[in-house]
Amino acid sequence: MIRFQLDDFTLLEKAPTSAAALRTKLGEMLISSTSARVQIDSVNPQTGEYRLVLLGTLDLEKTPFDKT
């Protein structure tokens, strides 16, 4: 199991990225979190554009499954 690390945050903002790569990294982040929630910041029904804010706490404990 790959765990999301603090260093991985920089990978989330690199562009361009595919939706699949972003989905993978966000999934790792959510699975590696002890708590998570989302706030809907905005949605534009005409363009489909949206803005979400993820709030959570990463589990920083080392486990045998860590990639480091």
The better pLDDT of the pair 1, 40 is held by 40
pLDDT at position 68: 52
**SS3 assignment, position 38:** strand
Between these two residues, 68 and 44, which has the higher pLDDT value? 44
The answer to whether the pTM exceeds 0.75 is no
- Residue 1 forms part of a structural domain: no
Q: Which residues span the domain enclosing 29?
A: 6-58
Burial 33-67 (b: 16+ CB within 10 A, else e): beeeeeeeeeeeeeeeeeeeeeeeebeeeeeeeee
Question: 19: buried, middle or exposed (CB in 10 Å: 19+, 13-18, 0-12)?
Answer: exposed
Residue 68 lies in a domain: no
Quote the number of domains for the chain.
Answer: 1
Q: Average pLDDT, stretch 22-36?
A: 92
User: What is the rounded average pLDDT of the residues 48-65?
Assistant: 84
Q: Residue 64: inside a domain, yes or no?
A: no
Residue 21 has phi, psi (to 5 degrees) of -65, -40
